[in-house]
Amino acid sequence: MSAYRGVVSERSTPPPSSDASPDEEPSGTPRTRSSGHLRTLAEFVIALTVLALIQGFVVKAYQIPSASMEQTLETGDRILVNRLDSSIERGDVVVFEHGDTWDTTHKSPSDNPLINAARFVGSVVGFGPSTRAYTVKRVIATGGETVSCCDDQGRITIDGVGLDEDYLGSNFGWDPGTNDCSGTAVSMRCLPEIVVPEGSLFVLGDNRTNSADSAVSCRGRVGTEECARFVRESQVVGPVIARFWPPSHIGGIPR
């Protein structure tokens, strides 16, 4: 007698339940990725805006491009400028803006429209290329003061008073009776009497022998020749308050 095998009928397995509504997308779908990209872009724009506002109104960073301020500032140093300080005093190291020359406000446009666009963006956000040039020098005299050089010790004088400058990185030769302002061999340290116009500044580099500054066309002259160039107070971005890079140079600015 053969055994009977019953046939077990198959039952369909119900689909797993889900709490997601029909309109929700699982993680990793194009809609989720697009939302993440938009959020990242918004965060980047906000960060860029905050940075631009800080650099535009509070403190701005610059890099020293030349040796004209050695030994105070060296090529490649990164500095911070206080944009909230509008006071300007003798001895301050300041950054000022200008165009192709100190008398102009903007650089001449480039023939390359991409460069012009990059300069515009850089001027708005506060870093990168700019429509302006920036220079750092030390304030030696302010409006109404008279600058000359030299006294019997070879010092610059302000309204007849000798100026002690312990911060200098270099200076032109001075030898009383041989290489001074009275003999035939006039020292390049010598300057004629220069009256600084009101609202202007007379600025020099601390590395005197390698600085294109207010006295660059006056060196080795005596008398009252009009040879100096000045910085308008309105051109000043602010005083340099510190160096923050490289780490070995972190610190304040000597006066």
pLDDT digits (tens, 9 = 90+) for 35-81: 777 777 776 666 656 656 565 657 899 999 999 999 999 999 999 99
CATH architecture entry for 62-119+130-255: Ribbon (2.10)
pTM above 0.85, yes or no: no
Residue 10 is predicted with a pLDDT of 41
Residue 8 is predicted with a pLDDT of 34
- pLDDT exceeds 90 at position 86: no
Phi-psi region of 174 (alpha: psi -120 to 50; beta: other; left: phi over 0): beta
Q: Which residue has the higher pLDDT, 46 or 236?
A: 236
Residue 203 is predicted with a pLDDT of 98
- pLDDT exceeds 90 at position 123: no
Q: So which residues are the catalytic ones?
A: 68, 137
Residue 5 is predicted with a pLDDT of 36
Residue 2 is predicted with a pLDDT of 38
The lowest-confidence range among 58-62, 78-82, 83-87, 235-239 is 58-62
Provide the pLDDT confidence category of residue 31 given band limits of 50, 70 and 90: low
The lowest-confidence range among 67-81, 96-110, 122-136 is 122-136
Cα-based distances in Å from 68 to 22, 142, 209, 232: 69, 21, 8, 20
- pLDDT exceeds 60 at position 90: yes
Residue 34 is predicted with a pLDDT of 72
Average pLDDT, the chain: 85
Q: Which residue has the higher pLDDT, 68 or 26?
A: 68
- pLDDT exceeds 80 at position 190: yes
Rounded Cα distance, 245 and 45, in Å: 26
- pLDDT exceeds 60 at position 103: yes
